[in-house]
Chain A
Amino acid sequence: MQKPKSENNPNPSLVVRIRRTISFRLQHGDRIWQVLTVGMAVVILVLMLAIGLLLWQRSDIARAQFGWSFLKIGGELNWDPANGLFNSWPFIYGTLLTSLISIILAVPMSVFIAIFLAELCPKWLRTPLSLLVELLAAIPSVVYGLWGIFIFLPVVVTPFGNLIGNTLGAILGPDNLFAGPISASGASRLAAGLILTIMIIPTITAVTRDVFLAIPASQREASLALGATQWETIWRVLIPYGLSGILGAVILGLGRALGETMAVTMVIGNNAQSTLSLLQPGYTMSSVIANEFAEAVNELHSQALIETALVLFIITLLLNLIARVLVWRVSRRTPQEARA
């Protein structure tokens, strides 16, 4: 703004010169701003790639030594750091089993809760209830673990595990998925699965509730006008309509269950032995890393753990891709259907 005045003056005063410089710099701040924003955007991308690359690079000896046998299914004692034997199957099994339990239990519950929050509960109750469910998601996982060890395991998991072991486990014969007995402390894959269930319910519920809230009212009205009951409307119209969104929510919850570390480490019993049963103590990929990495006996051991982290990273990456495609399909489809 000062420019025209100062240009007429052959010898501008110091103040004017400073002002001119500042205004010049201000205009050219855009260049810096652009570089900064683009630069930071690139940094985020680089970060994502760097995680994968560094894990890949730092597990080179383990990868060269074991190859695909690192992921081989089955075997007796697969993980023996003292003798340099590493096969991460027991941990992959532990992760898959505990996540599967949590998904099987959490998905129906979360969908029901989301239905209640979005469709049924009075409006004044919706906000406080949603808030409580979200607070459940905010509790740190170590706190879940602490509560799990001292309260949840003895009070719920041990009796429940004994019940399963004595009925299903006894019927199916030796060495099956439900073979008991559960340890006195209750530490087992079942315990980890149940804790994970509690932890992922809020995640799945929150997203599913938003999916229900986003469904156009015309869908409900049309169904109700045809004489369907409220439940039939929910079951036959709203759930099919929001299915992709709900699937996205499930995948989000699954991602959380797969990666959850602390609570699982605290209740799963930490046992590298390859056993089948739900009621036995085990390990998940994340809990074996948490428990052994700091005390790795040698370079190969820590490399094997880094490779386990790499496997976990790739699994979550694939899940994210699937979720992304699902969400993309929903966001592409919904406007058209809303118009139709």
Chain B
Amino acid sequence: MTRNSSLSIKTQLVLTFIAISTIIIAAVTYFNFTSNVNQEKDSFIKNSIIQANLLSEFTVSALVFWDEEGAEENLEKLKNDKNILRAIIFDNEENLFAQYNPKNLQDIVPISEAAVYLDTQTDSFMDFGVLKISVPLKHKDKTYGILYVEKSTKLISNIVKKIFNEVIVFTLILFAVIYLVSIIFSNYFLKPILSLASTAQTIASTQDYATRVNYNSKNEIGSLYKAFNVLLKDTENLTNNLEKEVDIKTNELNLKTKELENSLANLKHTQQQLIESEKMSALGNLVSGIAHEVNTPLGNAITSSSIIQKESTSLFKEYEEGTLKRSTLDKKLTVLNESSTLLVKTLNYASELIRSFKQISVDQVTNDIRKFEIKEYIYEIFLTNHNKLKLVPANISIYGDDDIYIKNSPGVIGQIFNNLIQNSITHGFENFKGNARITVLLEVIKEDLIIEYSDNGKGIPQDLIGKVFEPFVTTKRNAGGTGLGLNIVYNLVSQKLQGKIQIQSQEDLGVKFIITMPLEYRKKEEK
């Protein structure tokens, strides 16, 4: 159980003390005040009844003997009582016989033989209204009339106000006394606890567990101090042991950290080496492919030039011997023309191949950023991989507008596509029986270029899809696969192209890579 309180224990104690005292004082004051008020009220009413009865005793004979003057003389004596508002004597026929009406009140008098009640017409505090008393004017058992008396209750109101003021003053003094007493008591009782708390706070901040507290008493607080000292001693021992243990563990941890740092550095180095070797391997493949590709047109060129040389030598010899016939000349010139045309064609093809190789190989080495036409560049990449693709054989389709230019690193694009093509050949089309097909779809959406690379090969098993971009994930480890191809692709897309790559695949239906990259490389983000 936890309690959140920002108040100090001393304040809480004082507040609790005051709260309890307030409730008790309020209850006592209320009952005392109410009791006093009722007592004063009852006393006033009783005295007034006695006064009215006494007056009736004195005035009854005046009524009996029709002595109005005597009756009024008796009533006049009431002027000494300032609370009397009026007093009236009625005979049995309810006729007014005599009255004392100093305030000349004119309202109707409720005549009844015997009644005592407070007529309160206002709800104001401490206003008890007018006391109305009717007393029968009797002698022995015979009633001769009624004495009606109206009395102001200001006397009670004044007494009650006085009591109220006294109660307020007394309560305030009591509160002040309670507050002082609670402060003194809380100081007295809480001093050792607060001192202990302060020491504990100091120890917590300084961590000086060698500190000890002193309290010369055998009560509960003394036990608390003793227990606190025991706790400090244990903590001191534990801290000392812990510090030693921590030192040992810290040293071990530093050692392990250093080892891990070295391992990480080695790993990074190895990864870089692998990336470089992958790049070199791709370059080697490129070179061997280009060499293979150039070999055919060069062979044709050599054949054509040999034919040209052979035919021109034969033509020159027959010309010198004078055996050259016109038909032979036509035939030889036709052969020469065809051979030279073939020679030019094959040499142009070889030249084109070398130009592509030159651009792609330079891009792969430099990774420079430049603006280029993407569709043509992808076509050239496929061209450099032609010797490998024709072994599958795979049909290549590239869809998209011819005028899509991007500003980025063509070398990175080449490296990505080389990996994807190699991936399709090695995994997708291994022992593939159908018509292998690689399709590239280019599309511009707002500021981004979407490249969809797909093959219709074997696809990737579902359990591997989530891990294909992780390093060293391969199904061809025994066959020489490093498991870095798609990891490199992932890193190149996300870090170099500032793009994203997604994979979709179903087994036996092929694989699709969707690359989303900005049309223009953003230098700021590179920072």
B and A form one assembly = no
Residues of B whose CB lies within 8 Å of any CB of A are none
Interface residues of A (CB under 8 A from B): none
